[in-house]
Structure 1
Amino acid sequence: MSLFRRSSIETRSGGDGWLSVFGAGKGMDGSMKSALRLVPLYAATSLIADSIAIMPCSEYESTGGSKVKARQQSQLIIDPHPAATMTRIEWLHQFATSFLLRGNAYGLIVAVDSVGVPSKIAWLHPDAVAVDESGSQPKYQYKGNDLDPSTVVHIPWYPVPGSVVGLSPIGQFRQMLETGSSAERYGADWFKNGSTPSGHLKYNKGSLNGSESATAKARFKAAVANNDVFVSGEDWEWNAVSVKPNEAQFLETIKATANQIAAIYRVDPSDIGGEAGNSLTYSTLEMNQIKFQSRALQPIFTRLEHHITRLLPEYHYMKFNPDALVRTDIKTRTEVNKLNLEIGLLTNDEGRELEERPILNDKQKQEWQKNYGKSPTTPKEETS
């Protein structure tokens, strides 16, 4: 682990703080906001970012061949966001959003603890970061300000050989995204300003001049305003004119775009407005969650784990718990916990902790043993 110079970090944190020095906190620029207006793209990235943001993580230490949860969790694991009004959830969401939309997450270490371990990292807007790769080591700038490389945490998604900068999904698939965005705008314009009328009000007793038609139209619209009842005699006939969205071809384009975005981000097309093309008829919520976890989430949070681990004390590492997102029914979860207890994978105290229940005290253990004939901490084979 490298030691960070306290002076450089404290200088950036002084005065109005790092927010004023680097212009962070002023909001995203138009390019990323415009991309997120495309519904399937927003659905895919927010689904992944939200899942990573709420995923529990902890700090572990490896000593003497065993790996246990660290007794003292580092500030970087507990609450790494430099803004006092935001939590680790928002911090993780910012990382994922930058990573998913730009293929790079750039973090700036803005605080260290008493032993030199980073305690706060601010994610910088990726569009304002410039990377100079002409030398032997990359040099970073943020809004024209040189950054100390030792204070930069750079996590790329898809780096090609010869470069440390990841490819941007938005940039690589710009044409496809623009097609989908155009289709959405066309669909909205079709229903708002399209040439097809909403209906046909016909007078059966003869012809009407322009003034008479306008008067009849105004009276009819006033009568049916707010979905009111319309009453007519034998001389008027009203027919609603409906337009099938498929005739405009924009829904097919949107679905095709959603399927392509689903392929990029490895999510199920049906989750973001697309259509799944497989013929599988049997699946469960748990199976879908596991597939989503292994394909879409694990490659991202594993990268973050490795980069944060490099900043922690020696023999310490960060680890997410993606299993917490896989929700099973109570019966299945109970059976799994029972099996883990029997094979020694869990202790009784660890099993209760997973269920967010307090550890049994000695009196409660005695009562349990008296009522059920076996100590909850005694292996099954020892009581047989």
Structure 2
Amino acid sequence: MGVGERLRQMFTRDANITSAEDLLALARAGRTGKKGVHVSNDSALRHSAVWACLRLRADLVSSFPIDVFRYVDGIQVEVPKPPVLVTPGGLEVGIKEWMYSTEFDLDRAGNCFGIITERTGVVGPDGRGLPGRVELVELGAVSVRANGSTIKKFTINGKQYEPWEIWHEKQYTVAGFPLGLSPVAYAAWSIEESLNAQQFARDWFAGGAVPSGTLKNTRKTIDKKQAREVKDGFRAAVSNGDLFVHGEDWEYKPVQAVAQQAQFIEARQYGLGDIARFFGCPGDLIDAAVSGSSVTYANISQRNLQFLIMNLGPAVGRREDTFSRKLVSGPRFVKLNTDALLRMDPEARARTIGQRITNRTLAPSEARALDNLPPFTEDQLAEFDRLFGSRSVPAQPTTAVPGATP
């Protein structure tokens, strides 16, 4: 039975589930008697690939400016943002930090939670004031009571809350399940393998897993007492890098770990690719080794565009929908400006803007505004005329009409 089926069975009646840890427990179900690193949302962060994927996605999403619009006569017009999209956690937590934290939790656990501590006077779709302040809470402190796809109660640090008192976003959803699924839970096998490889390496090179070498007397058999004395003397001599002097009857042979080291490196390389796929990040963007790929990009803008379309864009769209439904009223809607990810180099940008002006899809004053500059003054335009000629458009030649008076 798959994890998804067990989740559906759990929620066919009222049931409690801790959003992060219970999902991880379900993902590990059936693996008994297996020793090693226990993977949780916190321990997974010890893996560099997990951290890199989560950091990259959260960094980018938190850098996108958030704008609010409404349509006026069919034209999209920007309107002032509500305070919750400026300082959602109060004066101490600005929108960039809040967006980073929520995206980080969404990407690792499929859910993020917060307590709505303030509301505005603007009535939302549920008949209550729109959220004015949302104080985020740690994932492990949250559990929910649900019936089917409907959440009945939230419990945070032992205190119960009604659903309308809680901010809840989710991603990686399945039909009929009220919570988002945790990538860490489903990636637990890959993360475990890689973390266990790291643990093996630490134990091996620290000498805890296997002996670092053997010291053999080639002339006679020694008893335990003699072995202990020789061992202590050898350790005392070499522990600080000093020389070990012996006759022709002692032979020291370091233990080699060639095969194990090769397996460790191989496990680490394969683990990086698996984890990158689970967390929606191309391996090359987190400096993971990528083999067998022939895809090349003309410039960084094309690479970022591919990442935005294939990996990050859908998550951004879902967050825009959530904000539009829960944080603004009436005909207003929220957009995250992803242009920040698609910045071009100065030469390509100038060429693109110049072409748009030539094609009359962008006015010169609008192009100036893109660089935070005011429109040209008459004196500036006159200066261009002196350098490059008059602005007047030359008269077009006309075809003579027979019989017309010259």
The correspondence for 1:166, drawn from 171, 180, 189, is 180
Q: Deviations over 1:205-259 (max 9, x none)?
A: xxxx9878976875666567xxxxx9x9xx9xx9999865863511211222211
TM-score by length of 2: 0.70
Deviation at 1:324, TM superposition (A): 1.1
Aligned to 1:147: 161
CA distance in 1, matches of 2:350, 2:141: 50
Q: Is the 8 A contact 2:49 2:275 kept in 1?
A: yes
Deviation at 1:336, TM superposition (A): 1.2
Aligned to 2:5: none
> Does residue 1:362 correspond to 2:371, yes or no?
no
Structure-2 change in CA distance of 1:136 and 1:91 (3 Å): closer
Structure-2 change in CA distance of 1:59 and 1:342 (3 Å): farther
The SS at the match of 1:110 is: strand
Residue segments in structure 2 that go unaligned for 5+ positions in a row = 1-38, 123-128, 216-225, 397-406
Aligned to 1:262: 276
> Does residue 1:351 correspond to 2:359, yes or no?
no
Aligned to 1:61: 70
CA distance in 2, matches of 1:242, 1:367: 80
Output aligned runs, 1:2-151, within 5 Å.
31-70=40-79, 72-82=80-90, 84-115=91-122, 116-134=129-147, 137-143=150-156, 144-151=158-165
Q: Is the 8 A contact 1:48 1:296 kept in 2?
A: no
Q: Is the 8 A contact 1:81 1:121 kept in 2?
A: yes
Structure-2 change in CA distance of 1:136 and 1:158 (3 Å): closer
> Does residue 1:314 correspond to 2:333, yes or no?
no
The correspondence for 2:309, drawn from 281, 284, 294, is 294
Q: What residue identity is the alignment partner of 1:81?
A: G
The correspondence for 2:341, drawn from 325, 334, 352, is 325
The SS at the match of 1:306 is: helix
Aligned to 1:206: none
Residue segments in structure 1 that go unaligned for 5+ positions in a row = 1-29, 202-208, 225-229
Deviation at 1:176, TM superposition (A): 2.6
CA distance in 2, matches of 1:242, 1:41: 31
Structure-2 change in CA distance of 1:273 and 1:239 (3 Å): farther
The SS at the match of 1:249 is: helix
Aligned to 1:20: none
Structure-2 change in CA distance of 1:56 and 1:383 (3 Å): farther
CA distance in 1, matches of 2:283, 2:102: 24
CA distance in 2, matches of 1:381, 1:156: 58
Q: Deviations over 1:175-217 (max 9, x none)?
A: 33222221111122222245464x999xxxxxxx987897687
Structure-2 change in CA distance of 1:383 and 1:323 (3 Å): farther
> Does residue 1:275 correspond to 2:282, yes or no?
no
CA distance in 2, matches of 1:274, 1:147: 43
Deviates more, 1:131-140 or 1:335-344: 131-140
Q: Is the 8 A contact 1:183 1:253 kept in 2?
A: yes
CA distance in 1, matches of 2:286, 2:73: 47
Structure-2 change in CA distance of 1:366 and 1:137 (3 Å): same
Deviates more, 1:357-366 or 1:257-266: 357-366
Q: Size of the alignment, in residue pairs?
A: 341
> Does residue 1:305 correspond to 2:320, yes or no?
yes
Structure-2 change in CA distance of 1:367 and 1:242 (3 Å): farther
Larger Rg: 2
Structure-2 change in CA distance of 1:374 and 1:294 (3 Å): farther
Q: Deviations over 1:94-141 (max 9, x none)?
A: 111110111112243322334444332223333333333327842231
Q: Deviations over 1:68-117 (max 9, x none)?
A: 222x22212222223x3332111011111110111112243322334444
Q: What residue identity is the alignment partner of 1:111?
A: E
Q: Is the 8 A contact 1:77 1:318 kept in 2?
A: no
* Identity fraction in percent: 23
CA distance in 2, matches of 1:120, 1:374: 58
Q: Is the 8 A contact 1:60 1:316 kept in 2?
A: yes
Deviation at 1:40, TM superposition (A): 1.3
Q: Is the 8 A contact 1:352 1:358 kept in 2?
A: yes
Structure-2 change in CA distance of 1:69 and 1:178 (3 Å): same
